[in-house]
Chain A
Amino acid sequence: MKLSYYPGCTMKNHARNFEESTLYALGELGVEVEELKRWNCCGTVYSLSADEVMHQVAPVRNMIRAKEAGADQLMTACSMCYNTLKRANARARANPEQLSRMNAFMYDEPIDYQGDVEVVHALEVVRDKVGFDAVKKKVVKPLKGLKVACYYGCLLVRPREIAFDDSENPTVLEKLVAALGATPVEFSHKMECCGAYQTVDKPEIVADKTYQILTAAREQGANIVAVSCPLCAFNLDHRQEVTLQIHPDLHTMPIVYFSQLMAIALGGDESVLRLDLHHTPPGPLLTESGLL
């Protein structure tokens, strides 16, 4: 079964560290993915209005691109892309009347979308196609010394109907980091929202959330936080700057993508980690733990 890869906008600039480490890790695990030759914005947020069909057109166009590439599955690693694409796809599948309106609107597309592409997340691929036991066998540099707070944010496992793990207490990230040789900590704030898009005009709210989330992570024994969403990464990492201004007692902490942890454990060198894109540098902790 062919797996098409949908990167999304942020993976191509602010989150190059996420994309490069994901593609490296999947390659090491023998998962072949092919980036769509042409793709467009997923819309970033799923439209919650019941009468809204227009905003489903952009994500559904990407399904047509996957069909053109001969793929049955479209994989993405960004939580926001995953959520938007998967929910739009679910809506198209469940509402033939709405799907036919979308297809009618996209009259310039060579084929009609039939609802026959499955949207999958990179973590789901690693768990279900590779398996954590197989991941463990491929580890060349166990992540000893890393105590990881696995942070899911909102869009990876909510709402329940598109989730590939429990919506209240998911454990897929903990199982992954344990397979990589790290120690996952019990983390009370794994599902607590980082403030999401409020970061644009209300960064002070995001600063409060970041303070609460990182303080909880530290108190529960973590020395690093793993995420799967570039917006969570921005809010928890880059917003540490404004967080420190409002909450001077914040203990800064490195934030990494789960894929970067995979890349390190699977033998990737610094070039696939792109640590230059981080605000709070993970370098010192990784060096101290003998991982760089």
Chain B
Amino acid sequence: MTAHITRHHLRNAFVAKVQRLAGQNLMACYQCGKCSAGCPMASYMDILPNQIIRLAQLGFEAELLNSKAIWMCASCLACNTRCPKGVRIAEVIEALRQIELRARHEHLKVEDIPPEVLSKIPPIALISSLRKFTS
């Protein structure tokens, strides 16, 4: 992929929104990769956690919001615990999900969950899934 990065990208409203929603300074990341190395969901992601941060720094809105990765995160917080710069990667990924969900772009539709699944899973599984994947 050839990416053209301009000042416009770096200072766009999307970067500001991600930083505000996540409460994080994206530029603190120096790409050591520890977050991706320890991520239990990394093998299911199309872009890795450290790449998510890099793309967010550079304002790659469509690449991030259309990624599978932001919905694979299980919010286990292993990345946050290990980041040497104190960046809360899980909060950044939450911010990306929130940008989608607040525009009513649902990741999960309740009506699509089969009744046999609903009858088996414990309430904490269902509620946490709905909290993460629906608006």
Contacts and interface: CB of A to CB of B under 8 A. Distances in A.
A14 B118 CA distance: 13
Interface string B42-83: 001000000000000000000000000000101111101110
Interface of A is mostly: loop
Contact of B81 (A50, A168, A230): A168
Chain B: interface size category: 35 or more
A262 B57 CA distance: 49
Interface of A: 8-10, 13-15, 41, 43-45, 47-51, 55, 78, 80, 154, 158-160, 167-168, 191-193, 195-201, 205, 209, 230-231, 234, 238
B124 A230 contact: yes
Contacts of A168: 81-82
A47 B94 CA distance: 9
B123 A160 contact: no
Contact of B124 (A80, A158, A198): A80
A201 B106 CA distance: 13
A200 B117 contact: yes
Interface of B: 20-23, 40-41, 44, 72, 74-78, 80-82, 88, 90-91, 94-95, 98, 108, 112-113, 117, 120-129, 131-133
Nearest to A46: B75
Contacts of A51: 20-21
A47 B41 CA distance: 20
Nearest to A83: B77
A196 B77 CA distance: 12
Contacts of B129: 197-201
A209 B20 CA distance: 33
